[in-house]
Structure 1
Amino acid sequence: MKKIIALSVFVFMLSCATNPFTGKKTLALIPNSQLFPTAFAQYDQFLTENKVETGTTRANMIKRVGERIAVAAERWLDANGKQGYLKDYKWEYNLVNDPTINAWCMPGGKIVFYTGILDVAENETAVAAIMGHEVAHALANHGQQRMSAGMVQQVGALGGNILIKDDKSRQAFNQYYGVGSTVLGILPFSRKHENESDKIGVYLMAIAGYNPDEAAELWKRMGAKSNGQAPPEFLSTHPANETRIKNLQAESALAKAEARKFGVTSFRPIKNF
């Protein structure tokens, strides 16, 4: 068992990657060369099974905003010595006719907006805030990290079951390990990713020419829409709305300063749909 643990630690150390946006080491047990093709195939399958809106004003807007955010990301990466970082990404932005208030991004840059979230967004600048957040998930390889964390969680469960010989103690371990590793490990890990994506996202939207102040306003509307129905923050995969709003308000000035480095001194006007 000691050899297995030592080997696992060694493998984890070798499987770390550096996030260019945070400068931090991140766990990458599944290489993007394997992850991206699987994600692309799943995305294509999803599109065949759902109502994709094409050619409309709002569908074209989603693509336009996505392309601007992707260009902003490439500009930032090139300026910070990370040329070629996006070579394996295949950006795609689709609007799906569904009342769900959500948007998501798969590893490698495959993005979906549901039409339901547009009612909360209300304007293109807010769409850019959402898009920046989703693009940031892809850029920071959060999908890869979540899958790696799940594998670590499974290794911990396996190790406990091997080490604990007594059936009663093993049952207790399995019961408490599942809850404990989720509440104290997986959920904080996910909230950290959401905070990272919020921060990176407002930088990207500002560099793309969208006013980052609107990101906090978007989350005020999200909070009003939820009517306080969200679970406590420590039991959620996402930060509380109040936390996000406070953080986004603090980051907005920094995002504007970063955008000025790229020649952006004014932003597109905010106009409701």
Structure 2
Amino acid sequence: MHRRCVLPLFFLGLLAMLAGCGETPTGRSQLALVPGPLMADMGEDAFNQLRNSQPISHDAHANRLVQCVAERVVAGAEASYPALAFPERWEVVVFEDPSPNAFALPGGRIGVHSGLLQVAETPAQLAAVMGHEVAHVLADHGNERLTQQLGIKAVLLVVGLLGEGEFGNQQLMQALGIGAQVGISLPFSRTHEEEADIMGLEIMARAGFDPQQSVALWQNMAATSDGQPPEFLSTHPAHESRIRSLQQGLEAATATYRTVTPANC
């Protein structure tokens, strides 16, 4: 093996042993090599770029609703996964964009598109989306994807052998699940999406939102979408598959929901 290949592989093995081998909150084995503080910095930078380049909604009712749901979803996440480390505060912004999307970024940032409020007909349906997106952050999916997609480059960044600029801003945004434009929401892998669905159900139920509304939300999504590629061509589960998966988790989530005070947003 060429000598210059040995050093990166050495660091890859070392970091895997020290920091990368772990489990997600659902117990799935995970390799995520980038330190949490660095992921938070990346999330902050990406969010600031979007906030400075994309129009922000000034609709008072929309902002009150989103803030209310976000506060309860975060509280539900903390109650559901008390062993995890949470940001001290979460910044929540409603972007003026017609696409029915939302996203959450490491470090405690949540973005909601105004278009989502046209599809999410109730606060509980909005909570289903936000709980799902927060779950991506809690499960460190961006870190895992960054490690997988960028490979040794990610490891070299961690150990300081490459400057952050050598990644390319677009690669970092993609790893975090968002595009250069706020209207583009990039899918995580099917495994990540399914895991976030499972965690999101628990989070919304613990937050006081009826988990049955998660199924209604995706039925609305299916009704308003212009069509979706076949599941084998997409990393996002097909609407029908996602609904079936959510229905399988409803019994446990509903039992949790019955133990808490319903949210009032």
TM-score (norm 1): 0.75
1:33-48 correspondence to structure 2 within 5 Å: 33-48=37-52
Q: Tell me the SS of whatever aligns to 1:30.
A: coil
Q: How does 1:143-154 map to 2 (within 5 A)?
A: 143-152=142-151
Distance apart, 1:233 and its partner CA: 1.5
Is the 2:209–2:257 contact (alpha carbons within 8 Å) kept by the matching residues of 1? no
Alignment correspondent of 1:255: 253
Distance change >3 Å, CA 212–CA 222, structure 1 → 2 = same
Give 1:24's aligned amino acid. R
In structure 2, the residue matched to 1:53 is: 57
Instruction: Give the drift of 1:48.
Output: 1.7
Q: Quick check: which one's helix share is greater? A: 1
Alpha-carbon contact 1:103-1:111 (below 8 Å) kept: yes
Whether the aligned pair in 1 keeps the contact of 2:212 and 2:254 (CA below 8 Å) is no
One-letter identity of the residue aligned with 1:14: L
**2: CA distance, partners of 1:154 / 1:188:** 22
1:88-237 equivalence runs, <5 A: 88=87, 90-152=89-151, 190-227=189-226, 229-237=227-235
Q: Give secondary structure in 2 for the equivalent of 1:94.
A: strand
2:116 aligns to what SS in structure 1?
Answer: helix
3-state secondary structure, aligned to 2:104:
strand
> Residues 100-148 of structure 1: CA distance to partner in whole angstroms, max 9, x if unpaired?
1211111222111111111111111100101100111111111111111
CA contact (8 A) 1:107 1:144 kept: no
Task: Say which SS state the counterpart of residue 257 (structure 1) adopts.
Answer: helix
**Helix, strand or coil: the match of 2:41?**
helix
Distance 1:188 1:204, change over 3 A: closer
Partner of 2:236: 238
Q: Post-superposition shift, 1:245?
A: 0.2
**Structure 2 vs 1, CA of residues 196 and 89 (structure 1 numbering), >3 Å: closer, same or farther?**
farther
1:14 equivalent in alignment to 2:18: yes
RMSD of the alignment, in Å? 2.7
User: Could you tell me how far apart the structure 2 residues matched to 1:112 and 1:189 are?
Assistant: 16
Residue 14 of structure 1 aligns to a residue in which SS?
helix
Task: Read off the aligned partner of 2:47 and give its amino acid letter.
Answer: Y
Select which of 9, 30, 46 maps to 2:34. Answer: 30
Q: Larger radius of gyration, structure 1 or 2?
A: 1
Matched, 1:66 2:70: yes
Worse-matched range after superposition: 233-242 or 122-131: 233-242
In 2, the alpha carbon distance for the partners of 1:42 and 1:188 equals 17
**C-alpha separation in 1, matches of 2:187 and 2:95:** 30
Contact 2:20 2:32 in 1 (8 A): yes
Q: TM-score, normalising length from structure 2?
A: 0.78
Length, aligned pairs only: 230
1:6-39: CA deviations, max 9, x gaps? 6344543433253452123311121111121121
Inter-partner Cα distance in structure 2 for 1:230 and 1:153? 34
Q: Could you say what secondary structure the match of 1:15 adopts?
A: helix
Relative contact order (alpha carbons < 8 A, sep ≥ 6): 1 or 2 greater?
2
Could you tell me how far apart the structure 1 residues matched to 2:255 and 2:109 are? 29
Alignment partners' CA distance in 2, 1:66 and 1:90: 11
